């Protein structure tokens, strides 16, 4: 348009005005008179150049502000997940003291915990679907609930107090799970897996840090275990509350708008926007399958972390002579080794995928990588099943299962985000799968006995492997 305007203006100046005629004939005559003339040079005045520079600076500033906003949001979500890990991790040391005061079966309290997780995850997703701009308020409410639970758990002296505290804990965790959806909305598609691994990896970091914080407080201030747990839990609650308050001051991302194109103008999908599936029914199937895979993945990781020491004790008790050379201190180190492998695995997945994506990985590469992680977790879980008396097999299992399940949650969430727009309803379904994974598989382990933990984890990782194999087959075909 610029060139046409300049050519027509130049024609008027060089050859005079055309003969009087109607608009169509005049325009045709003008264009024919310059059909063989060289195109007029494009010239810009100093005013044009100044305007161009101003527009470039405004565009650059806007892009920089957008990147800074994404970073602030993502870092805030990471801090909330660290606090969630601290609160959840502090329940282990706290329950060592609670059982001294509550001399009844604590199963009802854990049922309340499962109910809180289901309610928080489902309700958070539905609220996010209804109020698209209130995502940060939902996550902040989860941080507040988690902070309150961290204060109440060490003070529980009767069963109902423990039940209320655990209900608030997992209800808050369910609400905090909506940060997975918000970070998907805040980041482009090719960064989803990376940021989801970082986000969920910091939860493992917080869980690993909590027992160390209790030990550090007890050592530095020469306190008994119960008092140190109260101090550490109070610190975790303060940090969680502060992170929630800080998050409210930042504007929340909203679900990206979905644009559709006709078949005549369709082009390869942009790497920064999800490609909707061709069928609504297929989307429902994929969301259900993802929820089941998340259930199995979370069940495997939390069951190993919670029952690793009980598994060794159960094997030593039920089968005298088996794993007899593993001491109490080694059992503690075994559990810590699992969480270290788990945390390192999540961060390693984030940075490995970052480098791999920058090299323009081939179609289905992320799906296949996720399949290999599930396979590693299954192999690790089967090692003690095949060689139950082997000490080396148990240690190798802790490292392999930790590294294998590390990237599964983030991988499944990113996979569904690549296949369809992530709405509040999708977030509710995935959060439901995540939160039920804790209660379901740990309840099964409690019912069958901790000595069967490895068989149960083998089933859980096998479920995740089969589901991911179906996803890979669909992707490649």
Cβ–Cβ < 8 Å for 172, 81: no
More confident residue, 127 or 11: 127
- Highest average pLDDT, of 339-343, 355-359, 460-464, comes from 460-464
| Beta carbons of 89 and 209 less than 8 angstroms apart | yes
Higher pLDDT pick, 234 / 62: 234
Residue 271: C-alpha distances to residues 92, 197, 302 (Å): 42, 19, 34
Pairwise pLDDT comparison (95 vs 370), residue with the higher score: 370
Question: Among 105-109, 215-219, 268-272, 394-398, whose mean pLDDT is lowest?
Answer: 268-272
Structure tokens at 57: 């600076």
58 or 327: which carries more pLDDT confidence?
327
Average pLDDT over residues 155-180: 91
Q: Which range has the worst mean pLDDT, 1-5, 50-54, 196-200, 450-454?
A: 1-5
Q: How far is CA 102 from the centre of its chain?
A: 36
Interval 284-310 mean pLDDT: 91
DSSP state of 154: G
Q: Convert the pLDDT of each residue in 22-34 to its tens digit.
A: 444 454 444 444 4
Confidence of residue 463 (pLDDT cuts 50, 70, 90): very high
Question: pLDDT confidence of 196, banded at 50, 70, 90?
Answer: confident
Instruction: Compute the average pLDDT of residues 139-166.
Output: 92
Higher pLDDT, 61 or 185: 185
Q: In Å, what is the CA distance from 363 to each residue of 351, 366, 369?
A: 19, 8, 12
pLDDT confidence of residue 186: 86
Q: What is the mean pLDDT of the segment spanning 231-250?
A: 89
Give the pLDDT band (50/70/90) at residue 400. Answer: very high
Specify whether the CB–CB gap between 458 and 382 falls below 8 A: yes
Following DSSP, what letter does each residue of 163-186 receive, concatenated?
A: HHHHHHHHHHHHHHTHHHHHHHHH
The confidence score (pLDDT) of residue 167 equals 94
pLDDT for 336 equals: 79
Overall average pLDDT of the 389-414 stretch: 93
pLDDT value for 47:
54
pLDDT confidence tier of residue 52, bands split at 50, 70 and 90: low
Query: What is the third-level CATH fold of 73-253?
Result: Growth Hormone; Chain: A; (1.20.1250)
Contact (CB, 8 A) for 347 and 201: yes
Pick the residue with more confidence: 271 or 242? Answer: 242
Classify 364 in phi/psi space as left (phi over 0), alpha (psi -120 to 50) or beta. left
Of residues 186 and 287, more confidently modeled: 287
How much is the mean pLDDT over the chain?
80
Terminal C-alpha separation, the chain = 45
pLDDT score of 120: 93
Contact 86, 410 (CB under 8 A): no
Asked which of 48-57, 76-85, 291-300 is least confident by mean pLDDT, the reply is: 48-57
260's tokens: 């559709």
pLDDT of residue 287: 94
> Are 419 and 281 within 8 A, CB to CB?
no
Query: What is the rounded distance in angstroms from the CA atom of residue 2 to the CA atom of residue 58?
Result: 23
Q: Is the pLDDT of residue 356 over 80?
A: no
And the tokens for 283?
Answer: 């989307």
Side-chain-side CA neighbours of 70 within 13 Å: the count stands at: 15
∠ CA 418-423-424 to the nearest 5 degrees? 140
Residue 6 confidence (pLDDT) above 50 = no
The confidence score (pLDDT) of residue 326 equals: 86
Model pTM? 0.72
* Percent share of the chain, pLDDT over 70: 80
Structure tokens given for 240: 């969680």
- Report the distance separating Cα 230 and Cα 348, nearest Å: 33
- What pLDDT sits at residue 14? 46
Asked if 121 contacts 428 with a C-beta cutoff of 8 angstroms, the reply is: yes
Nearest to 435 by CA among 153, 140, 123: 123
How many whole angstroms separate alpha carbon 377 and alpha carbon 420? 27
Residue 317's pLDDT band (boundaries 50, 70, 90)?
A: confident
CB atoms within 10 A of CB 75: 12
Confidence of residue 375 (pLDDT cuts 50, 70, 90): very high
Band of pLDDT at residue 59, cut at 50, 70 and 90: low
The dihedral built from the CA positions of residue 122, 126, 132 and 133, taken in this order, carries a sign that is negative
Eight-class DSSP state of 451: G
Answer whether residue 379 shows pLDDT above 90: yes
% pLDDT > 90, the chain: 29
| Lowest-confidence region among 136-145, 166-175, 262-271, 408-417 | 262-271
Residues of the chain with CATH 1.20.1250.20: 73-253, 273-477
In angstroms, rounded to a whole number, what is the distance separating the alpha carbons of residues 146 and 148?
5
What is the C-alpha separation between 280 and 427, in angstroms, rounded?
A: 16
Q: Which two tokens stand for residue 173?
A: 């965790």
Tokens of 315: 């094997």
- Cα separation, 290 vs 285, in Å, equals 9
pLDDT (0 to 100) of residue 203 = 85
Position 399 scores a pLDDT of 95
CA distance 448 to 434: 22
Q: What is the pLDDT of residue 268?
A: 41
What radius of gyration, in Å, describes the C-alpha atoms of the chain? 29
CATH assignment, 273-477: 1.20.1250.20
pLDDT at 430: 92
Core vs surface per residue 422-433: b (16+ CB within 10 A) or e: bbbebbbbbbbb
């Amino acid at each position: 348009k610029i060139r046409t305007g300049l050519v027509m203006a130049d024609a008027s100046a060089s050859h005079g005005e055309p003969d009087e005629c109607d608009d169509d004939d005049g325009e045709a005559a003008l264009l024919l008179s310059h059909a063989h003339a060289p195109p007029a040079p494009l010239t810009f005045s100093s005013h044009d150049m100044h305007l161009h520079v101003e527009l470039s600076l405004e565009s650059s500033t806007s892009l920089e502000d957008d990147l800074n906003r994404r970073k602030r949001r993502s870092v805030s979500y990471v801090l909330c997940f660290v606090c969630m890990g601290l609160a959840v991790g502090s329940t282990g040391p706290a329950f060592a003291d609670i059982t001294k005061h509550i001399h009844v079966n604590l199963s009802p309290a854990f049922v309340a915990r499962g109910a809180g997780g289901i309610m928080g995850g489902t309700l958070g997703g539905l609220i996010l679907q209804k109020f698209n701009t209130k995502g940060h308020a939902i996550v902040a409410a989860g941080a507040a609930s988690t902070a309150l639970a961290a204060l109440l758990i060490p003070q529980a002296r009767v069963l109902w107090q423990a039940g209320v505290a655990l209900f608030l804990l997992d209800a808050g965790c369910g609400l905090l799970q909506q940060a997975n959806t918000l970070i998907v909305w805040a980041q482009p598609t090719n960064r989803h897996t990376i940021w989801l691994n970082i986000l969920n990896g910091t939860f493992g970091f917080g869980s690993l840090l909590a027992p160390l914080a209790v030990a550090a407080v007890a050592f530095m201030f020469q306190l008994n275990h119960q008092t140190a747990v109260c101090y550490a839990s109070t610190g975790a609650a303060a940090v969680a509350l502060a992170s929630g308050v800080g998050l409210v001051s930042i504007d929340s991302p909203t679900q990206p708008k979905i644009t559709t194109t006709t078949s005549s103008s369709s082009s390869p999908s942009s790497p920064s926007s999800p490609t909707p599936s061709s069928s609504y029914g297929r989307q429902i199937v994929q969301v259900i399958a993802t929820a089941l895979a998340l259930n199995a993945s979370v069940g495997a990781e939390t069951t190993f972390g919670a029952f690793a020491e009980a598994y060794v004790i159960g094997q030593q008790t039920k089968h005298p002579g088996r794993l007899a050379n593993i001491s109490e201190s080694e059992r503690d180190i075994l559990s810590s080794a699992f969480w270290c492998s788990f945390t390192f695995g999540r961060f390693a997945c984030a940075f490995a995928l970052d480098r791999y994506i920058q090299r323009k990985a081939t179609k289905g590469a992320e799906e296949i990588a996720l399949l290999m992680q599930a396979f590693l977790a299954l192999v690790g879980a089967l090692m003690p099943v095949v060689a139950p008396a082997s000490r080396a097999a148990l240690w190798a299992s802790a490292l392999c299962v930790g590294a294998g399940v590390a990237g599964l949650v983030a991988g499944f969430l990113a996979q569904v985000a690549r296949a369809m727009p992530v709405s509040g309803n999708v977030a509710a379904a995935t959060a439901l799968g995540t939160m039920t994974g804790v209660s379901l598989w740990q309840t099964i382990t409690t019912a069958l006995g901790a000595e069967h933990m490895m068989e149960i984890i083998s089933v859980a990782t096998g479920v995740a492997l089969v589901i991911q194999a179906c996803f890979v087959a669909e992707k490649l075909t």
